[in-house]
């Protein structure tokens, strides 16, 4: 299934797409795949996190999960194997969320080849402004990986026009100019922000950073084509709560709440 097909399928079902986040190696290698089995029935696409020692865009919940995964000695090759195992379970689009340093440490061509072969559809690169290294972006795309970058409420019109065309997967719109983390409500103004993005791209737009419950999911769905849920899932697992309960609530918020669509 392609990325566009996954968003279109969710829309045909009268809802925004649900994009859960799982992290390789959290809570441990092996148990991470069990979490994938829990979330896949609710997922339209899946975001797979590569643990990293300096995740500047992530809040404390994901930072702690990343530290736990790294303490086990997780390597990039192990993350690729995790993606390969997920691909064996599903044909849903898989997006690797990674910072730039692991890409450079392995070597971009080798890194992209490794994850393309493992079954990833695309990459989310939160700390790479695509116009700063268009060659690297073109390399990933040329090797068959879709690319996704972040836009924020503080993004200017010029910034949107620069970044959005590089988003061949979907546009990841963060709800706040901060770090990831569950919130009770999302800020106002998201429909206006997404509207500005849609004026320059036909790519689907998903909202992340703060989606955690029915209320925030509905706010995201009223503005965009999809919603990413990350910290709320990691926290639910850490507290011993079932992920299915969280995902059922979020998915209910995504149903029948479409805002203006293109």
Residues with catalytic function: 47, 58
Take residue 88 and report the two structure tokens written for it.
């064996």
> H or E element: which one contains 64?
helix 60-71
How would you class 214 by CB atoms within 10 Å of its CB: exposed for 0-12, middle for 13-18, buried for 19 or more?
A: middle
Q: Which DSSP state fits 222?
A: H
Q: Sort residue 85 into left (φ over 0), alpha (ψ -120 to 50) or beta.
A: alpha
125-to-24, 37, 95, 166, 243 alpha-carbon distances in Å: 16, 25, 10, 11, 26
CA distances from 101 to 23, 51, 106, 111, 239 (A): 17, 12, 9, 11, 31
What tokens appear for 68 in the block?
Answer: 């736990």
């Amino acid at each position: 299934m392609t990325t566009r097909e996954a968003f279109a399928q969710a829309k045909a079902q009268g809802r925004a797409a649900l994009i859960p986040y799982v992290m390789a190696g959290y809570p441990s290698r092996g148990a991470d795949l069990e979490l994938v089995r829990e979330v896949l029935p609710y997922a339209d696409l899946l975001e797979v996190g590569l643990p990293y020692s300096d995740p500047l865009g992530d809040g404390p919940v994901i930072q702690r999960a990343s530290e736990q995964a790294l303490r086990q000695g997780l390597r990039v090759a192990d993350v690729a194997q995790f993606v390969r195992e997920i691909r064996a379970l599903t044909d849903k689009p898989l997006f690797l969320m990674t910072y730039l340093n692991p890409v450079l440490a392995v070597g971009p061509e080798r890194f992209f080849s490794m994850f393309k072969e493992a079954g990833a559809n695309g990459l989310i690169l939160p700390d790479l402004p695509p116009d700063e290294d268009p060659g690297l972006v073109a390399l990933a795309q040329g090797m068959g990986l879709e690319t996704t970058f972040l836009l924020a409420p503080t993004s200017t019109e010029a910034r949107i026009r620069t970044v959005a065309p590089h988003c061949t997967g979907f546009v990841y719109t963060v709800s706040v100019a901060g770090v990831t983390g569950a919130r009770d409500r999302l800020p106002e103004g998201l429909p206006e922000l997404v509207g500005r993005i849609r004026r320059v791209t036909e790519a689907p737009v998903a909202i992340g950073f703060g989606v955690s419950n029915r209320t925030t999911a509905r706010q995201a769905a009223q503005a965009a084509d999809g919603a990413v849920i990350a910290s709320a899932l990691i926290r639910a697992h850490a507290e011993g709560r079932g992920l299915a309960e969280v995902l059922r609530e979020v998915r209910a918020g995504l149903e029948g709440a479409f805002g203006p669509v293109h």
